[in-house]
Structure 1
Amino acid sequence: MNKIMFVGALVLACVVMGQALQCYKCNLGLFGFCSKSKINCTGASDKCYNADGKTGSLLVVQEKGCVPLASCNTTDSNVAFQQVIYSMTKVCCEGELCNSGATTSVSVLAGIGMVTVWLTSLL
């Protein structure tokens, strides 16, 4: 009887440990709008994150997804999007789908200003 319980507990532990962490994924969000879907994290990507990309004090882009622990709470200050250089800060969280919340919001007026600057740079 003890052997059966031990084997059952071992199998249950393997099943629980084998389940992947689920996070929300958003490859590119602009001006506070980030369309997201659910993904299973694989390999060393064991944390969910929200990321904000800023140029100066203006929020430009957002991301969500899975990253390794070493990439948590880091800032890459040399990222380019549409010929604008910005810094991307990844902030990790704990638990299933913990990155569901909105990233830092930006005012509509600031968003319109950024789009105007970007459009005029294309002309």
Structure 2
Amino acid sequence: MLGAAQGGEEEQLEQLMESMGFEKDEEFLECFRCDLGFWDACYTTETNCSAGERCYTGRGKAADTLDVKTLGCVKADECDVETSVQLFSNNTIFVMTKNCCNTPFCNSALKLPIATHVYLTVAFLTTWHLFEASTGSQ
């Protein structure tokens, strides 16, 4: 059983959290996390964001040629902001923009454009047709 002092402190904490926009039983957002990937290859794990954070997909270029990618959680004010990642002072490794979303696991792999599906279908049908033609003539 809580004493009067402990109950008062808990109530104050709840009021503070509510004033900051957090619900008492608020569930934290679940996102995919990848510390560093190249092109669309990224080893992902699942992570829980802290209060007020969103899922993000970060995309950038290293040395103006290598596509880099990161996934994870970030504070809302860091969304859609271009940042530089530096190894040593004044030595930029890559520039990245973090695009955010706020539903569970919304930072998954990007969907392929419809044109990519068409190209893959044509490539499959062509390969299948060539295979059928080569096996049918024997």
Give the TM interval when normalised to the shorter protein: 0.5 to 0.7
Deviations 1:1-49 (A, max 9, x none): xxxxxxxxxxxx743x2x21100000010232101011000144x2000
Q: How far has the Cα of 1:85 moved from its partner? A: 3.0
Match in the other structure for 1:21 = 29
> Please, what is the CA RMSD of the aligned residues?
2.7
Match in the other structure for 2:54 = 47
| Structure 1 runs not aligned, ≥5 long | 1-12, 104-123
2:60 & 2:101 partners in 1: Cα distance? 18
Instruction: Give the structure with higher Rg (CA).
Output: 2
CA contact (8 A) 2:29 2:102 kept: no
Q: 2:68 aligns with which of 57, 61, 74?
A: 61
* TM-score, structure 2 normalization: 0.54
| Structure 2 runs not aligned, ≥5 long | 1-22, 112-138
Match in the other structure for 2:81 = 74
Match in the other structure for 1:9 = none
Match in the other structure for 1:121 = none
| Aligned residues with identical type, % of pairs | 33
CA contact (8 A) 2:40 2:109 kept: no
Secondary structure, counterpart of 2:107 in structure 1: helix
* TM-score, structure 1 normalization: 0.59
Question: How many residues are treated as equivalent by the alignment?
Answer: 87
